[in-house]
Amino acid sequence: MSEIRVTTVSDTAGTGPVTLTKQMACKHWCFFVGTGTATIQDSFNTASLTDHSTGQYASNLTNHMVDGNQGIFQTANTGELAENRDGNGQTCRTATYNSSGTLTDAGRCNLSFQGDLA
């Protein structure tokens, strides 16, 4: 069996890392606990997390998306999850609801963006 170990895969000119093009890799994800003080547990391309009010959060991106028309996948342990993006590609806003449709803080939340970075 062969093994490849590298630090950086360079572009054809050797001037930098390979750019993901024509690939829809996840460009942002955030796993956080939304109860009490909302806290990021692990993430990629996440600058910070804002707790707006009960069941309403915003994951703020380090590197922005090209626009607000990106694919979002979200899950939470409260039953249902709905997103309320601001449409600018800088923030992923989400709201967590219980099975009765009432906003509620969620213990485990996962957000991800697929699309193109700005």
pLDDT reported for residue 23: 61
Backbone angles phi, psi at 74, to 5 degrees: -140, 140
* The pLDDT value given to residue 20: 62
Give the pLDDT score at 83: 62
Q: What is the predicted pLDDT for the residue at 31? A: 94
Position 84 scores a pLDDT of 60
User: Considering only CA atoms, which of 56, 52, 32 is closest in space to residue 43?
Assistant: 32
Q: What is the pLDDT of residue 76?
A: 83
pLDDT in tens, the chain (118 residues): 788 887 777 778 888 777 766 566 788 899 999 999 999 999 999 999 999 999 989 899 999 888 777 778 888 887 666 666 565 788 888 888 888 888 989 889 988 888 778 7
* Bridge-based pairing state of the strands 71-76 and 26-33: unpaired
User: Which pTM value belongs to this model?
Assistant: 0.73
